[in-house]
Structure 1
Amino acid sequence: MECNIDKRGRMARAVWGIVMLLGAVAMVVCAVAGFLSGWWVWVVAAALLVAGLFGLYEARKGWCMMRAMGFRTPM
């Protein structure tokens, strides 16, 4: 994997990753507190966690999966 995004793209992916992780934490806190219930809460929280970690991975490595597949991204 070679670097295919610049500093601006890395920053955007880092912010995106942090927002997704905060969303996952918020979902778990709401579920534990009893505000949300059901299996879907845990599925959404897990999806947000995976998306956030992947965003941080892309930011750290300077690599974008979409660009690597040939898609042109606006950043």
Structure 2
Amino acid sequence: MRGRKLKKRASRVSDEELFARLIYYGVTQLHRPEPDVWLMAIGELLDQWEIHKQFTGMAKPKREVSIDDIIPMGI
């Protein structure tokens, strides 16, 4: 893209839609009362949502890998 300025990509989801999704996840999927969801730290809510996805098979747990797992011994 020579001669063109690269534009920063705008967020795909508005703040209103993001909060609506978070409230939906907390109330409907995690069975928390709505006032409790509003008072939860966003990081805690996202952690619980990730655990829920792993439990239901929607996501696989992330695995930490060391360099020894990637490069075999003796190289």
TM-score norm. by structure 2 comes to: 0.30
Query: Greater Rg, structure 1 or structure 2?
Result: 2
TM-score norm. by structure 1 comes to: 0.30
- Between structures 1 and 2, the one with greater helix share: 1
The structure, 1 or 2, with the larger RCO (C-alpha pairs under 8 Å, 6+ apart) is 1
